[in-house]
Structure 1
Amino acid sequence: MRIVKALMIGAVLFEVVAAPAQTTVPQFKNWPEGASPKEIGDRITSRFIATPHTNFNRPGPPKMITYPETCTWYGALTFAKVTGNTAFTKQLVARFDPLLGSRDTLIPTPDHVDRTVFGAVPFELYIQTKDPRYLAIGKRMADKQWGPPEGKMVTPDSHRFYDKGLSWQTRLWIDDMFMITAVQSQAYRATGDRMYIDKAAKEMVFYLDSLQQPNGLFYHAPGVPYFWGRGDGWMAAGMSELLRSLPKDNPNRSRIMEGYKKMMATLLKHQAEDGMWRQLIDDPTSWKETSCTGMFTFAFITGVKEGWLNKATYAPAARKAWLSLIKYINADNDITEVCEGTNMKNDHQYYLNRKRITGDLHGQAPLLWCATALLK
């Protein structure tokens, strides 16, 4: 028992020691009425708590928790923590309780990046509650990501990537760089074991070297030469999540920071006059899309707060983006103009024709990430 208590205390101390100092940013204060991150976060968290498990806007409940729900759940938990809202925390914990018992089949099998990211939620629950049951679930998922390859999702490339010391779940879609880094960064925060975040950093460099273009943006995947908003959003958010906890002595940190800053500079150039970004980032005729705007805003806020980005340049851009983004939230606390779930396709018009969804959790999640980052 003493050993367990010591480990718990150590985890708490680690979390405190690992947390970097935050830059004071005047542009992130004095919000118009109804526009503050706390007010918005309260609305979106309440909406999530009242929302049943969802299945990409398809009819019927999902067979397992989907990654948009995971990302929103994680955002709601971090928002509840930063605001000290214990009522929210209790409700978000209660949402997980059935998964520890009769509804454990809702826990995804960790055989694909979109499923394995679920581990970020039990890790956050462990960080906040110190209940070892959550840690066990998170570790099982994070460890499985490094192999060996096994299960229905094994591809011909799985062993090739695994033999290079990469995740066997590597598929070179830019979405992966949130899905992998989120769960592995959380594993590091929860356990203090650098193996998790060091491997995630190596993975990130492989994706940067493989997919980042000279302008700093990313194609959706090899052979799909389009700068799809949310795809690039996953990369921007993933680098932000990774860098904020990546130890300064990690040998890959400078390479990742270089890729991050290069991307941020180009995103700044493509930000619309009202603060939004578009479904296809570099296509000025493309529609303004909220999930990518939320993700890019989160990356800007994090970079400014951590001192990676010039405050005078990026803080006003982040504020403008936030104030524009929240105008898309309707009376039901659902954000509009969210691109539907999207596969990759070498077709420019395919991306422009994607449905615009209201209340999709792809769009709700980044609102909570932004609110948390603004309040830290």
Structure 2
Amino acid sequence: MSQLTRRRFGQSLMSLPAALAAAPMFSSLDAPAAAQEAKPTGHIGGTSFDDWPQGYDPKVLGPAVARHFLATPHMKFQNKPTIIYPEVCTWWGALEVAKLTQDEDLLKTLVERFEPLFSTEASWLPEAGKHVDLSMFGSLPLELYMQTKDKRYLELGLKYADAQWAKPDAKGLTDETRFWIDDMWMITIVQLQAYRATGEKKYLDRAAVEMSAYLDKLQQPNGLFFHSPDVHFFWGRGNGWFAAGMAEMMRELPKSHSEYSRIEKGYRTMLASLLRYQGKDGMWRQLIDHEESWPESSCTGMFSYAMVTGVRTGLLDHAQYAAAARRAWIGMVGYVDQNLDVTNTCEGTNKFNDLDYYLLRKRKTGDFHGQAPLLWTAAAVIR
């Protein structure tokens, strides 16, 4: 670690409020006052996804954070309102929670939030076929179609999924390919959602071929992923995007598929590696392999999601991975404040070949990058 990093990193820690520098063991989290004063129930350890301490139950916290999302304004992109990927990810997580908890009122309000995008807010829709971060928007209307059967959503969602593959290269990869680890959520989710909504195998094939190419290009012998071929850092959330994307892929990909073995191997190799890097507090770090790096909430949520999903699908050993996922959930929930905002979330991050660049990224509170993985994990546990 450079002297500059030590000096500036230490200063950044000293400037943090005490509440963020050390995550609380228990959180009040939307619990009634009487419950907050009562003796906590449930256990911290173990492998159960059903028995939780007071304030940590995903069936309670998930809907509460989803409703908090409804009160959050749309994001802006380049100083204009645009529905871009962090909001899409959070919205999708909220829809999953609404579906799995059978909360019709929550679903209704999540649908109502989208309705102006067909009329007065249509200019807020991202342009299709231009960039992975914009194209993945299509995953949201496709989810709304699957839950409401309103064909307006299907038409809109497929517009993005198909535009992404309007000009594939000779290997069948989208022209949006850039070999950044983030892409393995962005590309994967819109194509998988199109497959789920239509049953058309071409969408599944696109995502699988793309993922195999990224695995070959970015996964390292230790199981983790470089940010890009020319930036050799194991950035936490970047690896989280890949882990979550592979988990989603393994929910759908049949064993008979030509890419199944390659993707399964990459998934298992990565998840086994993550077990070695998880902190005693349940968290993973901003840079996964740097102990001096700070505990980061969004990657912790994504890794927990990938593990819970693997356990639920039977791909991962329950005793080993459920314990790690449970510790991660409890660790991450400790970074949720009294306003239901997730703290210690890395700000939006480009790729850069400099250690200080990653270690000194700002820590955000209430950022959609952090809210989304909490909702995904809550949904996976409930599922």
The answer (yes or no) to whether the contact 2:285–2:295 under 8 Å persists in 1 is yes
Distance 2:262 2:306 in 1: 17
1:237 aligns with 2:244: yes
Unaligned runs of 5+ in 2: 1-45
The one-character-per-residue Cα deviations of 1:236-294 (angstroms, maximum 9, x if unpaired) are 00001111012232110111010000000110000001110000000001000000000
Aligned-partner SS, 1:180: helix
Range with bigger deviation, 27-36 or 262-271: 27-36
- Picking from 238, 252, 272, the partner of 1:265 is 272
Partner of 1:342: 349
Q: How far is the alpha carbon of 1:54 from its aligned partner?
A: 1.7
| Cα offset, 1:186, TM superposition | 0.5
Aligned partner of 1:323 among 330, 338, 343: 330
Q: Does residue 1:180 correspond to 2:198, yes or no?
A: no
Measured in 1, the distance between the counterparts of 2:158 and 2:249 equals 18
- CA displacement at 1:33 relative to structure 2: 1.5
Q: How far apart are the structure 2 equivalents of 1:28 and 1:164?
A: 42
1:75 alignment partner in structure 2: 93
Measured in 1, the distance between the counterparts of 2:258 and 2:169 equals: 21
Distance of 1:55 and 1:288 partners within structure 2: 27
TM-superposed deviation, 1:349: 1.0
Superimposed CA distance per residue, residues 94-116 of structure 1 (whole angstroms, 9 cap, x where no aligned partner): 01100011211111112110001
> Out of 104, 128, 144, which is 2:163 matched to?
144
Letter in 1 for 2:131: H
In 2, Cα distance between the equivalents of 1:144 and 1:45? 30
1:122–1:137 contact (8 Å) kept in structure 2: yes
Q: Partner of 2:40 in structure 1?
A: none
Which residue number corresponds to residue 18 of structure 1? none
1:38 and 2:45 correspond: no
- Checking the alignment, whether the CA contact within 8 Å between 1:147 and 1:162 is kept in structure 2 is no
Q: State yes or no: 1:108 paired with 2:129.
A: no
- Report the Cα distance in structure 1 between the residues aligned to 2:159 and 2:279, rounded to whole angstroms: 42
Distance 2:310 2:76 in 1: 32
| CA displacement at 1:146 relative to structure 2 | 0.5
Structure 1 contact 146–162 (Cα < 8 Å) conserved: no
**2:186 is paired with a residue of what secondary structure?**
helix
Structure 1, gaps ≥5 residues long:
1-24, 149-160
SS of the aligned residue for 2:178 comes to coil
Report the Cα distance in structure 2 between the residues aligned to 1:348 and 1:205, rounded to whole angstroms: 28
Residues 47 and 318, structure 2, Cα contact 8 Å, conserved in 1: no
**Alignment match of 1:119 (pick from 115, 138, 145):** 138
1:20-59 alpha-carbon deviations (Å, 9 max, x no partner): xxxxx96111111221111110221011011110237x9x
CA-CA distance at 1:312 after TM superposition? 1.1
Does 2:311 align with 1:304?
A: yes
Other-structure match for 1:6: none
2-structure distance, mates of 1:200, 1:164: 13
Distance 2:202 2:133 in 1: 21
- Residue 155 of structure 1 aligns with which residue? none
List aligned pairs for 1:114-263, cutoff 5 A: 114-148=133-167, 162-263=169-270
Q: How many pairs align?
A: 337
For 1:303 and 1:137, the matched residues in 2 are separated by 31
Query: Does residue 1:92 correspond to 2:110, yes or no?
Result: yes
TM-score scaled by length of structure 2: 0.86
- Percent same amino acid among aligned pairs? 55
**SS of aligned partner of 1:163:** coil
Give SS of 1:244's match: helix
Tell me the SS of whatever aligns to 2:48.
helix
Alignment-mate amino acid for residue 146 of structure 2: I
Q: What residue identity is the alignment partner of 1:64?
A: T
Task: Give deviations 1:285-311, integer Å, cap 9, x for gaps.
Answer: 100000000000000100111111111
Q: Given that residues 67 and 115 in structure 1 are in contact (C-alpha distance below 8 angstroms), is that contact kept between their aligned partners in structure 2?
A: yes
Match of 1:363 in 2: 370
Query: How far off is 1:164 after superposition?
Result: 2.0
Deviation of 1:220 after TM superposition, in Å, equals: 0.3
Q: TM-score, normalised by structure 1?
A: 0.88
Alignment match, 1:157: none
| Root-mean-square deviation (Å) | 1.3
Q: Look up the SS of the partner of 1:328 in the other structure.
A: coil
